[in-house]
Amino acid sequence: MSATVEIRPAPHIKGERSVEKIMSHVVYSLLPICGFFIFQYGISALALMLVTTAACLLVERWSITTGTQSGNLGDYSAIITGLLLALTLPPGFPLWMGFVAGVVSILLGKVIFGGIGHNIFNPALVGRAFAQAAFPTAIATYTPSFLPGRFAEFIPSTLAWPLMLPADVVLWLKDKQLDALAGATPLAKWKFEGVMASAWDLMSSLSGHLAVGVSPILILLCGAYLASRRFMDWRIPAAILGSAGITAWVLFTFDPTRYPDPFFTLFSGGLVLGAVYMATDMVTSPVTPRGMWIYGGAIGLLTVVIRYYGGLPEGVMYAILIGNAATPLIEKISQPTPFGKGKDKGKLKRRSASYPLNPSYISREEDAAVTPIKHLVKNKPKRDAGSAP
Amino acid sequence: MNLLSYLRGEAFQRGVHPPSSKLTAQMPIRRLPFPPKVTVPLSQHIGKAPRPVVKVGQEVVRGEPIARTEDWLSVPHHAPVTGVVEFIGLRPSARGTWVESIVIRAYPGATQEDLWGQPRDLSTASGSEILQAIWETGMVGLGGAAFPTHAKLTVPKQAKVHTLVVNGCECEPYLTCDHRVMVEQADDLITGIRYGMRATGAVRTIVGIEDNKPDALVAINAAIQRAGTVPEGEIHAELVPTKYPQGSEKMLVMSLFGVEIPAGSLPIALGMVVNNVGTLAALGRLLPQGRGLTERVVTITGPGVARPGDYTVPLGTPLRFVLDYAGAPAESRQVILGGPMMGQAIASLDVPITKGVSGVLVFRKEDMAEREVLHTYPCIKCGECVEACPMGLNPSTLGLLASKREYESMGESFHLGECFECGCCTYVCPSNIPLVQQFRVAKQVLRERAVAS
């Protein structure tokens, strides 16, 4: 025996999971998605991703060294914020604006609340909401995907000087014999023109020069990986997509001429990305299983309502931010029922018991149960006086 | 998610699956030599301490009562070795406090046979006579809680017991003493079960065994066959899916019968009494011979232990002697009494083995190295603990409240009292927050406040 003996309270063993492991797996699962985004839009997308991630890491580094936030740089969470922010921005977004959005994400989204675990809103969406308010034109300017030469030249707006207006993408597109409308997202086209893209084109994101994000199929696959390794809760995406789909389907059957079909609603815009990667952000979503269903259901419903009735073509971002804000309230009403306090006691019987669960001499274990107050000391068996051992 | 766990065939909801690490599962039980000195603490069970009935310098025979009690919630103690009482006074205990103990120096030449007991025939004894006999053996729950067995088997007047549930889960990693007892002492176990059934008036017995111990099931079924006199269907052995903390009686009853024991009540509310296999096997051996509890089976294990195994250890054997015999590694840093999930780290090797110690676990420095480097983060609200808590609590919120010392709110609004400190939340927490440790503090503070007010 060595001279030093350590005393710690139980438990003395520890599961494998750590914050670093969870966050790094989210980053790994984001890599195929980022690759696809670069494949769609070329070096502009790559540059945007690098800039937003660098901005997030810089602010994180600054805030940790100055002690304004807890956590450390090794936890990968700032990388997730940077990558997700880039994925929600248009690929030709000016780099300096991307940098500002990245700084705002971490600074206003995370640092002022105290760092990892303390933020109320998803940092990437805070950055995007800021960009939406500050740069309304730039954030609405999409370019078509799969342009020839996308790996050789930047989209001109990308390289705008800081604090300067970006170059006009419409003129650039005209040079390429594409009309300006090619740059509108399918959602904007439906909202303002009444034109709908087919569901399969939206799901694969591969055909034509659609101005869309990463293929929802790929996102769902990466999300399925995360959910199967339990690095993400499957309930939230299921609830969001389910509730958005049902709401859209109800409205579609109500008036098919006015509302798009539910598949279009599900697979256009950022709904799948938001459902799988944004809304599932652990810090800003409820911890209770019941709360997750409520949270996801509310986000799905709000997304459809904002898209159909609001002024903006896209509603996922605000829906998730509202969901984040409601999370503490949702948790309050969705606390789990403790063992032995539920009303439906004993509904699920053992399937494979080799003995009768309720034999004839037991009426029904739980129904006929008397709950005596146990007075151990008073219930001595009868014994002769003075026969203590 | 009732439906999902039902479809997966899970026994109770939530819980965790730590690596089982049952290094000693296939090793037969061996006997540890008798130590030169044993220390018998008077209070090694739940309830009042008995009073010593021997004097310093008095010679005692193995099995002779050395402490007696008139209090129902207390048990007598018996001399674990033949020798002479050397000292009665304060000695260190596992909890760190010094407690009243009896130290006996063993005679080196003694055969150390149990000479005290009178064999007797209990075949016609009534329930209360059996309870009285159990009390006289000094038996407490050998699973770890050390609750006096006669008190547990006593059925209150208003209640009626129909089922004796025998807990052979041994869900703690590393520990194998109950497993080996089931395999090797199945006949004693059946005898003990029949005494237990007569004491409680139960008409059937279900032995719950986790499915990582199929050989125990085979052994028990064979013993039921051998006993012959057992009416058909009276004793069942049943496999339940392996999961921690199945050994908790609430979880085991849920696994076996699919019923929840209502919060705040005991299994007796559903007409059941739960007992550990080790307890009943020891009763089956001791009662017919009229002897007292002087030894128990202890798993001595851990990475680096030279001769790990299940040993029959005389009660009161100092840990130093046990570890010297089993060959604890030189660089061992932590000694734990019990299992790794709920066991207690001890500060002194002079602490004796008591009735409630089911295992001695030794960890080296490198076994704990992984935990040393773990960074503690703020709660990231991943919900892992909510998915792990077998009692359906919300450890995430409880942990946040505990760090703000909102103990009252934890108890009133978040059911802190239901927590039985299984440690699942701390085990899974990716942020490495000491959740269950905080809950222990909170419960203690609440208890003290309740007493003070």
CA A103 to chain centre: 20
To the nearest whole angstrom, how far is the Cα of A110 from the nearest Cα of chain B? 13
pLDDT value at residue A354: 67
Picking from B203, B347, B377, the nearest residue to A116 by CB comes out as B377
* Three-state DSSP class for residue B211: coil
pLDDT value at residue B180: 92
pLDDT tens for each residue of A264-304? 888 887 889 999 999 998 899 999 989 999 999 999 999 99
How wide is the angle at C-alpha A300 spanned by C-alphas A294 and A304, nearest 5°?
Answer: 145
Average pLDDT over residues B74-90: 91
As for the ipTM of the complex, it is 0.85
pLDDT value at residue A31: 93
Residue B426 predicted with pLDDT over 60: yes
Tokens 């202890």, residue located: B298
Dihedral-angle region of residue A31 (phi above 0 means left; psi in -120 to 50 means alpha; beta otherwise):
alpha
Picking from A1, A12, A362, the nearest residue to B332 by CB comes out as A1
Query: Residue A338's closest chain B neighbor by CA?
Result: B392
- Are A376 and B73 an interchain contact pair (Cβ–Cβ within 8 Å)? yes
- Joined together, the tokens standing for residue B329 give 């590694």
- Are A14 and B371 an interchain contact pair (Cβ–Cβ within 8 Å)? yes
Residue B5 predicted with pLDDT over 70: no
Hey, which residues 172-201 in chain B have their CB within 8 Å of chain A?
A: 173
- Joined together, the tokens standing for residue B446 give 């609440």
- Are A11 and B341 an interchain contact pair (Cβ–Cβ within 8 Å)? yes
Straight-line distance from the first to the last Cα atom of chain A, in angstroms, rounded to the nearest whole number: 41
Query: Residue A74's closest chain B neighbor by CA?
Result: B375
Write out chain A residues lying below 8 Å of B18, CB-based: 13, 15
pLDDT tens for each residue of B126-180? 888 888 888 888 899 888 778 899 888 888 887 888 889 999 988 899 999 999 9
pLDDT value at residue A349: 56
To the nearest whole angstrom, how far is the Cα of A373 from the nearest Cα of chain B? 8
Digitized pLDDT (tens) for each residue of chain A, 389 residues in all: 556 777 888 888 888 888 888 999 999 999 999 999 898 888 888 999 999 999 999 998 888 888 777 767 768 888 999 999 999 988 888 899 999 999 999 999 888 888 888 889 999 999 999 998 998 888 888 888 787 777 878 887 877 777 777 777 777 777 776 665 556 777 777 777 777 777 777 777 776 667 777 888 899 999 999 998 888 889 999 999 999 999 999 998 988 888 888 888 888 878 899 999 999 988 999 999 899 999 999 999 999 999 888 877 788 899 999 999 999 999 989 888 888 777 654 455 555 666 766 555 554 444 444 444 444 444 444 444 444 44
Stronger pLDDT, B303 or A187, i.e. the higher one: B303
CA distances B372 to A17, A146, B271, B365, B382, Å, are 15, 50, 46, 10, 22
Hey, which residues 126-165 in chain A have their CB within 8 Å of chain B?
A: none
Percent of chain B with pLDDT over 70: 97
Q: At the topology level of CATH, where does B128-289 sit? A: Rossmann fold (3.40.50)
- Per-domain residue ranges for chain B? 36-105+294-364, 128-289, 384-452
pLDDT value at residue A180: 54
pLDDT value at residue B117: 78
CA distances B366 to B303, B309, B362, Å, are 10, 22, 12
Please tell me the distance from the alpha carbon of residue A72 to that of residue A91, in angstroms, as a whole number.
30
Dihedral-angle region of residue B286 (phi above 0 means left; psi in -120 to 50 means alpha; beta otherwise):
alpha
Query: Residue B292's closest chain A neighbor by CA?
Result: A389
Residue B270 predicted with pLDDT over 70: yes
Q: Is the peptide bond before B245 cis (omega within 30 degrees of 0)?
A: yes
pLDDT tens for each residue of B390-409? 998 999 999 999 988 888 88
Please tell me the distance from the alpha carbon of residue B164 to that of residue B146, in angstroms, as a whole number.
18
| Short-list A324, A303, A298, A322, CA closest to A314 | A303
pLDDT value at residue A291: 92
Percent of chain B with pLDDT over 90: 25
Q: Which one-letter DSSP state was computed for residue A67? A: T
pLDDT value at residue B230: 60
To the nearest whole angstrom, how far is the Cα of A155 from the nearest Cα of chain B? 38
Average pLDDT over residues B354-361: 90
To the nearest whole angstrom, how far is the Cα of B278 from the nearest Cα of chain A? 23
Nearest-10 crossing angle of helices B186-200, B214-227: 70
Average pLDDT over residues B102-128: 84
Average pLDDT over residues B8-27: 82
pLDDT value at residue B279: 92
- Joined together, the tokens standing for residue A109 give 């989204």
Instruction: Band the pLDDT of B8: cuts 50, 70, 90.
Output: low
* Identity of the amino acid at A22: I
Query: Residue A348's closest chain B neighbor by CA?
Result: B258
Buried b (16+ CB within 10 A) or exposed e, A200-235: ebbbebbeebbbbbbbbbbbbebbeebbeeebbbbb
Average pLDDT over residues B383-387: 90
Picking from B206, B342, B386, the nearest residue to A355 by CB comes out as B206
Picking from A338, A350, A389, the nearest residue to B391 by CB comes out as A338
Please tell me the distance from the alpha carbon of residue B252 to that of residue B6, in angstroms, as a whole number.
15
pLDDT value at residue A381: 45
Picking from A11, A288, A379, the nearest residue to B426 by CB comes out as A11
A114 touches chain B (CB under 8 A): yes
CATH, domain range B36-105+294-364 = 3.10.20.600
Please tell me the distance from the alpha carbon of residue A377 to that of residue B148, in angstroms, as a whole number.
12
Hey, which residues 73-112 in chain B have their CB within 8 Å of chain A?
A: 73, 76
Dihedral-angle region of residue B304 (phi above 0 means left; psi in -120 to 50 means alpha; beta otherwise):
left
Residue B281 predicted with pLDDT over 70: yes
pLDDT value at residue A363: 47
8 Å CB contact between A201 and A188? no
pLDDT value at residue A374: 46
The backbone torsions φ and ψ at residue B287, rounded to the nearest 5 degrees and listed phi first, read -60, -50
Hey, which residues 163-202 in chain A have their CB within 8 Å of chain B?
A: none
Write out chain B residues lying below 8 Å of A114, CB-based: 378
CA distances B318 to A55, B99, B175, B348, B352, Å, are 61, 15, 20, 10, 4
Write out chain A residues lying below 8 Å of B257, CB-based: 346, 349-350, 353, 357, 365
Of the ranges A142-151, A357-366, B5-14, B81-90, which one carries the lowest mean pLDDT score? A357-366
A13 touches chain B (CB under 8 A): yes
Picking from A10, A349, A379, the nearest residue to B258 by CB comes out as A349
Stronger pLDDT, B271 or B82, i.e. the higher one: B82
Write out chain B residues lying below 8 Å of A342, CB-based: 260, 392
Q: Which one-letter DSSP state was computed for residue B59? A: E
CB pairs under 8 A between A and B: 281
Predicted TM-score (pTM) of this structure: 0.86
Would the CATH topology of B36-105+294-364 be identical to that of B128-289? no
Pairing mode, strands B359-364 and B332-337: antiparallel
B48 touches chain A (CB under 8 A): no
- Are A287 and B386 an interchain contact pair (Cβ–Cβ within 8 Å)? yes
B336 touches chain A (CB under 8 A): yes
pLDDT value at residue A208: 64
The alpha carbons of chain B give a radius of gyration, in whole angstroms, of 22
* Three-state DSSP class for residue A269: coil
Q: Is the peptide bond before A90 cis (omega within 30 degrees of 0)?
A: no
pLDDT value at residue B10: 64
Please tell me the distance from the alpha carbon of residue A50 to that of residue A82, in angstroms, as a whole number.
8
